[in-house]
Amino acid sequence: MAKVDIEWRGLERLTATISNAHPKAVEQSLQVVKNMGEKGKSVSKRLAPVDTSFLKNSITTSYQGMEAHITSGAGYAGYQEYGTRYQPGTPHIRPMLDEIEPEFQKLMTDVMRGAFK
């Protein structure tokens, strides 16, 4: 299975700051991560190419601490995302990230502003 990792720099520092904040801020941050993870799954399913619906139906989310993992169990997901030398890709993960990132950043900023007033 192809794997796509997105890394935001400073994430460890953000996670440490959130973890040391008020427990309510931690709870709110976890909720933002979960809500945006589910939204990301929904968006990527909407953007996924559909032939048999296997790719779309194999997109799932899992959570580990302050992380949301959106993955596809379809072995050909990477080929659909990036294409091959024979066919262009039909991206559905990268555009999803572009779509949800501004909202995620705004929501997390709002949580942090509330925690450090």
CA distance readout (Å), 37 to 89, 98, 111, 117: 23, 13, 17, 27
| Mean pLDDT score across all residues of the chain | 86
pLDDT (0 to 100) of residue 1: 47
CA dihedral (17, 20, 27, 57) positive or negative: positive
pTM here? Answer: 0.79
Tokens of 16: 């440490």
For residues 4-10, give the mean pLDDT: 55
For residues 89-105, give the mean pLDDT: 94
Q: What pLDDT band is residue 63 in, cutting at 50, 70 and 90?
A: very high
For residues 28-32, give the mean pLDDT: 91
What is 12-74 written as a DSSP string?
HHHHHHHHTS-HHHHHHHHHHHHHHHHHHHHHHHHHS--SSSHHHHTEEEEEETTEEEEEE--
